[in-house]
Chain A
Amino acid sequence: MMRRTISILLILVPLISGASGENLLLEEANKHYTDQEFDRAAEKYEQILASGKESAEVYFNLGNAYFKTGDHVQAILNYERAKLLDPRNEDIDFNLKVANQFVVDNPERLPRPFFSRWWGNLANSSSTDGWAKVSIAAFLFFLVLLGSYFFSRSIRLKKLAFYVALPLALLTLLSFSLAWHQHSMIKNRNAALIRCPRVTVKSAPSATGTDLFLIHEGLKVQITDSLDSWKEVQLSDGNKGWMKDSCLVKI
């Protein structure tokens, strides 16, 4: 018994100290940022990310540090990454808006159908894990109610259990699919940013393709197809074209 406890402790200690090492790094980075040493702060944040750890806060702070050093593309990139992890954070939205003012292109957004908009807004009102937790909680509660429906002797209790269990089942399904939606957004990472100062988008995946339009750094596009080193991108105004992936950086 004693030996086991010790061995568990031995396993836990490096885990804890490793975690605090990165937290220490985060603290240092924040301090650099507060002291206006944005270059060094960005370096430290990148170190945290390079160690395989992440959080919306780290991406957000890194975006801030890049913004302060004048690298608006990197700033937007990191804000977008932070937004994926924490879609509800209002600070991220605000800073992303400020940083986007430095983007030259401003394509008109295609109007999306209302249900798509509602679905997106609903999905963005929480993160993947938030929805997953809601789903699980609703499911467990549903099971409890189901049990009491089956085994209760009282007719009234049975009725109540039935009518509450039904919407809970729906909530379980809904939150599950929202979590799925958010998760696939993170997993697929179809959105990308233009990182070259200016890129000509071609009609076909070859250098001889007709030039369709010109876009500038910092613009967010959706990758819809790919062929070798070429990617088909779609702008928010619906225009599509091919460009080399060397000028793209995935969010």
Chain B
Amino acid sequence: MLKKVILYIGVLLVGFQSQAQDIRLVMSAPNAVAAGDQFRLTFNINERGENLTLPDLGNFDVLMGPSFSSSTSFQIINGKTTQSRDFSYTYILRAREAGTFTIRPGSIEVDGKVYQSNSLTIQVVTGQSQAAPAQQQGQQQGQQQGQQQERGSETTPSGSISRNDLFIRLELSRHQAYKGQQIIATVKLYANPNMPLAGFEEVNLPTYEGFYTQDIDIPQQINFKREVFNDRIYQVGVLKKTVLFPQQTGSITIKPFSITTLVQQRVRQRSFFDDFFTGIQTVRAKLTSDAVSVSVRDLPPAPAGFSGGVGDFRISSEISQQEVTTNDAVTLKLTISGTGNIRLIQAPKLALPGDFEQYDPSSADNVRASDGGVSGSKSIEYLFQPRYAGDFKIPSVQFAWFNPASGKYEQQSTPEYDLKVTKGEGDQGTGVVRSLRKQDIQTIGQDIRFISQKQVPLKEKGSSFFGSTLFWAIYLLGTAAFAVFFVVYRKKMEENSNIALVRNKKANRVARKHLKVASDHLKKQQGEAFYDALLKAFWGYLSDKLSIPLADLRRETAVEGLEARKVDPGLISDFLAVVDQCEYARFAPSGGAQVMHELYEKAEDVISKMEKQIKR
């Protein structure tokens, strides 16, 4: 309050400050009138003008005018003064006949310049006798609804209101739509211009089941406009505007909704003074709308890349950077703009190379609902991190949408981007750091393994090595070979041992024979031959006895063989002594018959002793 006073004082102190303003001539009139009714046509201008010229009014009669009035107002906001002046010229007109007529612009001269006004379209309906509402009400009594009572003339105290005078209606921009195609639903209140509305109670606006909805902002204050409906003039107020997106197919019915309105009615007392004292009564009237149905068609089979968009869209894309190091975040931003169910569009799939770290796309909507439907844009940001260095391609995103206007799918795709990833510095760490990045191999899909490329030899069907002739033959031949080998070898061994035995037995005799030869040589005094015979007797004997071939028989092998047969060491040394003496005497013959004789006897003695000891 105080502020206001200060403001007024301010107005007085500061005084006027005239501002140059655009000069505008505005023509206004109700947009719907009844034929025969009077109405006002007003020209407003913000400067004083001269020579107002009326356009050709044709079907309208000018009853009166122009009547002129002017007003001036000042306004100070934040120390800024604005002055506005208003000059108005008013004509009273009457329409002659029904129809829709256009009043062409009027003009006015201000400071020698001619300004034109806007043009107007006025719908003229067949005259309704405002004076005889009673008759009409009477006729339509049958259609009257609810608790409405008979209303004779205005004499009935409690107001009863005709359905034709006050009703609500849901207006849809279309009754046939594709699934997802937007429909603008307007809740309108129709009231007879003569019916003063006081307010609303219990406003139950429609619940749009089966639709995704988005409200259109309308002024808080309900602006009533004149409108013609069923050839009658109504004051029409828009209560709510909503954009509907059908979410299911088939026939969807929007259930009736209701509003309780308060209507002021004049009430006349039934007394002598009634005509002078009229009261005003507020009457409640519950208004119920009709059910409205929409038939929704399903979309044709969707192409690849369709993500739910119905309307008219455009897509554009932008990548944050194209040369990065590993583990840098890259953002691909898609912008889908246009009109339609933008909010319901899902983020299209971005098929990135496999080992990219990809996060869920984030999306932001910026939509505006207006009388033209929902329009705006949706931006989707794909955030991802390349994990490995290399040159990659960020594939293009296919975006398809259904255009209900053409009844076809339309498609647009974003360009493909090259992404060059270089190895980051932090990536050249030690093995420990590397192991942190180890991960399970991602299974992307399952498929059978590839065919075997081996060129193996093919075999006859059903043939196998097991059970084949060769198989059994190897078994049999192996066994047979073993048996043969066994038998042959055994026999040979036996034979060998027999030969040895024979030789062993014969050894003594052979030795004696050699000794006899030696004794013959001794008698003939043939020294060299004697020694030879003696040695032959010894070696032959040992060869037979020890089963050692003569060629292998030497002093050492002979001693070994004798020791193995546990021959007395003394005897061995005697034997060696004889052999030594013989060898020595062979190359250096010395001594006489006596020495030879002794040697002969010693040899005979050694052999006979050996014969006894080896036999054991």
Contacts and interface: CB of A to CB of B under 8 A. Distances in A.
Interface of A: 19, 22-23, 26-27, 30, 33, 48-49, 52-58, 60-61, 64-65, 67-68, 91, 94-95, 98-99, 128-129, 131-133, 136, 139-140, 143, 146-147, 150-151, 179-180, 182-183, 186
**A interface SS class:** helix
B459 A147 contact: no
Contact of B471 (A19, A22, A136, A143): A136
Given A129-B464, A143-B482, A33 B451 contact: yes
B478 A132 contact: no
A139 B457 CA distance: 27
Contact of B478 (A58, A131, A139, A186): A139
A132 B489 CA distance: 30
Contact of B466 (A26, A53, A95, A180): A180
Given A143-B478, A150-B486, A132 B459 contact: no
Given A52-B460, A58-B458, A67 B466 contact: no
Contact of A95 (B449, B454, B458, B486): B449
B452 A53 contact: no
Interface residues of B, number: 32
Nearest to B451: A61
Contacts of B481: 143
Closest 6 CB pairs of A and B: A132-B466, A53-B458, A61-B451, A129-B465, A95-B448, A57-B452
Interface string B447-485: 111111111111111101111000100110011011001
Given A98-B446, A133-B465, A23 B455 contact: yes
A146 B452 contact: no
Contacts of A19: 457-458
Contacts of B466: 128-129, 131-132, 179-180, 182-183
Nearest to A63: B448
Contacts of A182: 466
Given A143-B482, A150-B486, A91 B459 contact: no
Contacts of A143: 478-479, 481-482
Contacts of B452: 57, 60-61, 91
Contacts of A53: 458-461
Interface in B515-546: none
Contacts of A151: 489, 493
B448 A57 contact: no
Contact of A27 (B455, B456, B464): B455
Interface string B114-155: 000000000000000000000000000000000000000000
A56 B458 CA distance: 9
Contact of A147 (B446, B453, B486): B486
B481 to A, nearest CB: 8
Contacts of A27: 455
A69 B585 CA distance: 105
Contacts of B447: 98
A55 B462 CA distance: 10
Given A94-B449, A131-B466, A54 B474 contact: no
Given A91-B452, A147-B485, A151-B493, 16 more contacts: A19-B458, A22-B458, A23-B458, A33-B451, A53-B461, A54-B460, A57-B454, A64-B450, A94-B448, A94-B449, A98-B446, A99-B448, A139-B478, A143-B478, A182-B466, A183-B466
